[in-house]
């Protein structure tokens, strides 16, 4: 008897294992989700189960049924009563269930306010705003920190000439040009926010890090080389980030991390895979801080310029911006424009696409030049100028300039080629406060070819043949840079 029971049991187990549970034996269906009396969102889901192989409609629209017998549908509710009709047809037998769901808009909860009203003054940023480190000035303006999104409120602490001193967080402040902010009504408070969930995703040509906040907060950021990471401080934020979703198809971002470095400063770390950075931008979408990091472009894997889009800028221009003028009357703006066309021709020979910020003798504002390059989504940018100053009887030479440390190698590599022309090495100049060196969204350098004020330099740079040689060396430097990028990618692939 025991053996018979064992055999029957084994047979049943094998039958269940091989064929699965037979849902078609069910004679009815049931709704397992979606029959609430009252809901507070327009998006509503109906989930049920019915005999496998049934034909199911929800409010007349076919619903997908899975092999398990489960089915589901999504509804868009209108305010008030919503009738839901679920019809199931199984083997010629029809079953119907009808019910009502009431959609009610949620009642706004009163905001929690402090018992002590804020008595200070608050300003809010306009489009194109940027932060300065201090009140110092020179011919290029004060030392700039980073661009900052519009719509960010900060407490006004003091006024210094054309700048306001503003509070970023309890123990941090910066300066901002007065024309780049508006004043908020009396009683407006500076913002504070908890951080929420993150996501790190591949958006096609960029990786995007998104940190959810309750309000737009001021931020500062910088790039480090070792370790290879972007660091962003969100001022006025405290951590409440309990999960970070990171997808597996990321190209530039290796991983992310964070630290609460002060009670009201939340620091974001974005570690990068590739040694060379091709640009990044920090901005807001709504109240979420969004960091967009460009992928390494395909031509970099070949070490070539072909396929790159390169912005080329001719310094100065127009009736009021001549730049330097040499002792013999040669105008810098004319030399700059001539050399950019030489540079353009050489780049196009190598298969690059070139975008000019100033194709003729016009005075184009710096902000507009940046917009031109941004709209063209350039991969890198070179600005061409001539220098001035110093001893007029001495050869002064050539130099290249960068602001952000991640673009130092580009400036250095081009300078190494320029000094092959047996001209004086005037230097590799970093942290340069030139407007076109300020963007972080593409590698950029300024090439100061020669000194207009130096008689020996003037003789050289006035010669179109020498101008062409300088532009050829600039292109050689860009090619050398791409080879360095290619080598670094090979090293990275072996890790």
Q: Which residue has the tokens 């230097």?
A: 427
Condensed to tens digits (0 to 9), the pLDDT of residues 266-301 reads 999 999 999 999 999 999 999 999 999 999 999 999
Are 371 and 313 a contacting pair, CB within 8 Å?
no
- Which phi-psi region, left, alpha or beta, contains residue 357 (left: φ > 0; alpha: ψ -120 to 50)? alpha
| CATH T-level fold of 121-183 | SH3 type barrels. (2.30.30)
Condensed to tens digits (0 to 9), the pLDDT of residues 76-124 reads 999 999 999 999 999 889 999 999 999 999 887 676 565 678 889 999 9
**CATH of segment(s) 29-103:** 2.60.40.10
d(CA 428, CA 238): 40
Give the pLDDT score at 165: 97
Return the H-helix or E-strand segment holding 488.
helix 464-494
Q: Is 187 exposed, middle or buried (0-12, 13-18, 19+ CB in 10 A)?
A: exposed
Using a pLDDT cut of 70, give the percent of the chain over it.
Answer: 93
Contacts of 390 (CB under 8 A, 6+ apart): 396, 451, 453, 454
Give the pLDDT score at 117: 81
Q: Where in the chain is the domain with CATH 2.30.30.40?
A: 121-183
DSSP secondary structure, 181-210, as one string: EEEPPTTPPPP-EEEEEEEEEE-SSEEEEE
Give the pLDDT score at 370: 97
What is the Cα 151 distance to its own chain's centre? Answer: 17
**Can you tell me the mean pLDDT for 41-52?**
95
User: Is the model's pLDDT at 233 over the cut of 80?
Assistant: yes
Give the pLDDT score at 118: 85
Q: Where in the chain is the domain with CATH 2.60.40.3500?
A: 193-296
User: Is the model's pLDDT at 17 over the cut of 90?
Assistant: no
pTM of the model: 0.84
Contacts of 272 (CB under 8 A, 6+ apart): 228, 229, 230, 252, 253, 254, 293
Backbone torsions φ then ψ of 267, nearest 5 degrees:
-100, 130
Give the orientation angle of helix 464-494 with respect to helix 408-418, to 10 degrees: 140
d(CA 218, CA 173): 10
Give the pLDDT score at 111: 61
Q: Which residues pair with 193 in a beta bridge?
A: 237
| CATH T-level fold of 300-486 | Aminopeptidase (3.40.630)
Condensed to tens digits (0 to 9), the pLDDT of residues 289-335 reads 999 999 999 999 999 999 999 999 999 999 989 999 999 999 999 99
**Can you tell me the mean pLDDT for 40-53?**
95
**Can you tell me the mean pLDDT for 336-365?**
97
Pairing of strands 93-103, 80-90: antiparallel
Peptide bond into 227 cis (omega under 30): yes
**Can you tell me the mean pLDDT for 16-21?**
43
Q: Where in the chain is the domain with CATH 2.60.40.10?
A: 29-103
Q: Where in the chain is the domain with CATH 3.40.630.40?
A: 300-486
pLDDT band at 392 (very low <50, low <70, confident <90, very high): very high
User: Is the model's pLDDT at 3 over the cut of 90?
Assistant: no
Are 359 and 343 a contacting pair, CB within 8 Å?
no
Give the pLDDT score at 4: 46
| Structure-model confidence comparison of residues 334 and 10, the more confident one | 334
**CATH of segment(s) 193-296:** 2.60.40.3500
Return the H-helix or E-strand segment holding 474.
helix 464-494
> Would you state the structure tokens that stand for residue 72, as one six-digit string?
């589901």
Are 481 and 410 a contacting pair, CB within 8 Å?
yes
pLDDT band at 6 (very low <50, low <70, confident <90, very high): low
Q: Which residue has the tokens 């009670």?
A: 263
């Amino acid at each position: 008897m025991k053996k018979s029971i064992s055999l029957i049991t084994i047979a049943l187990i094998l039958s269940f294992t091989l064929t699965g549970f037979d849902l078609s034996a069910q004679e009815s269906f049931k709704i397992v989700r979606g029959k609430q009396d009252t809901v507070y969102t327009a998006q509503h889901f109906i989930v049920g189960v019915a005999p496998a192989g049934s034909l199911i409609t929800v409010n007349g629209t076919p619903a997908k049924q899975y092999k398990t017998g489960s089915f589901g549908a999504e509804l868009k509710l209108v305010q008030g009563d919503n009738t839901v009709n679920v019809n199931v047809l199984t083997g010629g037998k029809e079953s119907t269930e009808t019910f009502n769901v009431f959609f009610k808009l949620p009642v706004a909860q009163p905001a929690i306010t402090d018992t002590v009203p804020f008595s200070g003054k608050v300003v809010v940023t306009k489009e194109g705003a940027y932060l300065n480190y201090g009140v110092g000035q020179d011919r290029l303006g004060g030392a700039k920190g980073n661009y900052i999104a519009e719509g960010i409120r900060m407490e006004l602490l003091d006024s210094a000439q054309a700048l306001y001193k503003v509070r970023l967080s309890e123990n941090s402040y910066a300066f901002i040009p007065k024309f780049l902010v508006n004043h908020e009504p009396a009683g407006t408070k500076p913002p504070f926010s908890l951080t929420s969930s993150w996501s790190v995703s591949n958006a096609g040509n960029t990786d995007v890090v998104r940190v959810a906040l309750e309000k737009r907060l001021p931020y500062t950021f910088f790039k480090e080389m070792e370790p290879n990471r972007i660091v962003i401080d969100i001022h006025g934020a405290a951590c409440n980030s309990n999960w970070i979703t990171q997808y597996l198809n990321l190209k530039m971002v290796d991983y992310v991390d964070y630290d609460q470095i002060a009670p009201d400063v939340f620091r974001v770390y974005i570690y990068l895979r590739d040694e060379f950075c091709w640009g990044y931008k920090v901005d807001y979408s709504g109240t979420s801080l969004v960091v967009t990091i460009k992928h390494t472009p395909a031509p970099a894997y070949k070490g070539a310029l072909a396929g790159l889009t390169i912005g080329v800028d001719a310094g100065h221009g127009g009736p009021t911006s001549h730049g330097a003028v040499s002792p013999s009357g040669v105008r810098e703006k004319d030399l700059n424009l001539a050399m950019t066309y030489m540079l353009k021709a050489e780049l196009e020979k190598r298969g690059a696409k070139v975008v000019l910020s100033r194709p003729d003798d016009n005075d184009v504002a710096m902000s507009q030049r940046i917009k031109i390059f941004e709209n063209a989504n350039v991969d890198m940018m070179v600005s061409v100028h001539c220098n001035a100053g110093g001893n007029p009887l001495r050869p002064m030479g050539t130099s290249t300039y960068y602001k952000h440390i991640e673009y130092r190698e580009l400036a250095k590599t081009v300078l190494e080629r320029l000094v092959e022309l047996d001209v004086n090495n005037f230097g590799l100049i970093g942290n340069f406060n030139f407007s076109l060196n300020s963007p972080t969204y593409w590698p950029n350098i300024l090439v100061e070819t020669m000194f207009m004020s130096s008689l020996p330099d003037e003789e050289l740079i006035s010669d179109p043949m020498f101008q062409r040689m300088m532009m050829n060396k600039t292109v050689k430097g860009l090619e050398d840079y791409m080879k360095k990028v290619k080598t670094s990618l090979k090293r990275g692939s072996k890790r």
